Copies of this chain bind each other. A is one copy, B any other.
Amino acid sequence: MNKKQNAISPTREENFPEWYQQVVKAADLAENSVTRGCMVMKPWGYGIWENVQKNLDELLKETNHVNAYFPLLIPLSFLQKEADHVDGFATETAVVTHHRLEADENGKLIPAGKLEEPYVIRPTSETIIGDSFSRWVQSYRDLPLLINQWANVMRWEMRTRLFLRTSEFLWQEGHTVHATEKEAIDETFTILELYKTFVEEYLALPVISGTKTPDERFPGAVETYSIEAMMQDFKAVQAGTSHFLGQNFSKASNIKFQNEHGNEEFAWTTSWGVSTRLIGCMIMAHSDDDGLVLPPKIATQQVVIQPIYKGMEQRDKVLSFCQKLCKDIKATRFNDQKIRCIIDDRDMQGGAKTWDNIKKGYPIRIEVGMRDIDKNHLCIKQRDQSPKEKEFVDSTVFVETLPERLQSIQDNIYKKALSFQQENTKKIVSLDEFIDYFKNKNGGFAISPWCEAAIDNEVLKELKVTPRNIPFDQDTPNEKCIFTGKDASHYVIFAKAY
């Protein structure tokens, strides 16, 4: 091959947004549905979400969180309980106004049974969960209350993009109640750290954690903390958020408890979440011009075996070898879970099948033909390497060392993303350079001195750049805020963002 032939057209270089759509399509991850702004998560895409759920859920349980389930529909009046919250959410929610359908004179179904009070489909559940918490929390003995919910939520979005922004999406939302301000703040940080660990170790995505600037806070929160990841088009994605809600929601929902001295106090609450957006984020960070690249820990399947044979006699021999191999692989554990492996015996031309599986992002692909069986070695291809590379490994050795191999692929994907993020993060202390970075260069993350008076700054609006967060553990800048010329209070990460 003189000219590199890519499996995905256009390439990232040529047209990043369109490349993203084509990667999603080629890997058969998801599709748009007839329901406005909602996607269908196809098995290969939903499988990733299942692995996100399983692994994140385990981390949450290890830190004493328990799952529960609350109603999908929230009485309209509940949204009105917290003033900032209603402003933030009321403008984009699905409203249920009727509970029955009837046929009109032409037999066409029309809404009937009008409700006295309409409901909204939960855009987030602080208010409806707060209603339960006001009953569950009576005494300091009931605290802390550490609840998580896996659920679908809905926000009526005008411009949608598969996984990244859809009207309905799947997520987990944590809601906790504490006796003291300190405990609630500690919880908010514990969760942000847990998200960082999960996203880095499972999705192989390096992130920067920090505090959101006031204009980017969750509606009703005292503080919002986030982890921010960098995509290959240099834009940021907020990969997870954790909110310290102070007593705002406990006052709105009347969550009170009797303290050890018998006095009644309002409790302190937090909320936090990650969503199916993580999948979009992971696609844009790792995939290449040959399609999807999946970190082994959350890959729907980790290994695919492609049997190669001619005629029925070869077929039986090759397939039975593959079945034995697949069984051995599945009996091996990686990350304390059985390794996920399938045999791809679809009736397809070999080259087409190979490219289809490359585009699907299987971390490891094994081709098994008669010669391999005779030599008892396997031809191994890894998705983190060029499609041209291959390695022959004794089949027993392969199975025995598979956990280390999967971990090394996981590590490689992470390291590549980390280098990219580091290469495209720059400390910028002058406004001219800042403008040049985002206007003329493909600027990634800028770390710049900032002060609160810079909120609503016109330069940022023009550049379509936003403050991502105020990274933790930083010294107070000596420089002036590049937007206002006043003393800077912090360094802030700036970027274009999804």
Contact = CB atoms under 8 A, between A and B. Distances in A.
Contact of A101 (B40, B91, B147, B170): B91
Nearest to A66: B43
A66 B93 contact: no
A25 interface: no
Contacts of A101: 76, 79, 90-91, 93, 95, 120
A109 interface: yes
A168 B73 contact: yes
B109 A86 contact: yes
A72 B156 CA distance: 13
Given A71-B168, A73-B94, A96-B121, A347 B141 contact: yes
A71 to B, nearest CB: 4
A476 to B, nearest CB: 42
Interface in A99-126: 99-103, 108-109, 111, 113, 118-121
Given A66-B43, A97-B111, A132-B31, A121 B72 contact: yes
B100 A40 contact: no
B41 A68 contact: yes
A46 interface: yes
A98 interface: yes
Interface in A141-176: 141, 147, 151-152, 154, 156, 168, 170
Interface in A47-72: 47, 49-50, 66-72
A451 interface: no
Contacts of A327: none
Interface residues of A, number: 66
A253 to B, nearest CB: 11
Given A76-B101, A80-B109, A101-B76, A40 B67 contact: no
A70 B33 CA distance: 8
A111 to B, nearest CB: 4
Contacts of A42: 68
A35 interface: yes
Interface string A27-39: 0000101110011
A329 B92 CA distance: 49
Contacts of A50: 67
B132 A33 contact: yes
Contacts of A479: none
Contact of A99 (B39, B41, B95, B103): B95
A74 interface: yes
Contacts of A131: 33-34
A252 interface: no
Contact of A40 (B78, B132, B154): B132
Nearest to A113: B156
A237 to B, nearest CB: 21
Nearest to A33: B71
Contacts of A141: 346-347
A454 interface: no
A128 interface: yes
Interface in A400-451: none
Given A71-B33, A347-B141, A99 B109 contact: no
A141 B348 CA distance: 10
Given A86-B109, A90-B101, 6 more contacts: A35-B75, A91-B100, A92-B99, A100-B156, A101-B120, A151-B152
Interface of A: 31, 33-35, 38-43, 46-47, 49-50, 66-80, 86, 90-103, 108-109, 111, 113, 118-121, 128, 131-132, 135, 141, 147, 151-152, 154, 156, 168, 170, 346-347
18 contacts: A31-B132, A31-B135, A33-B128, A34-B71, A43-B68, A46-B68, A90-B102, A90-B109, A91-B101, A93-B99, A93-B101, A94-B98, A95-B96, A95-B97, A96-B96, A121-B121, A151-B152, A152-B152
A-B interface, 5 closest residue pairs, ranked by CB to CB distance from nearest: A38-B71, A43-B66, A35-B71, A95-B98, A41-B69
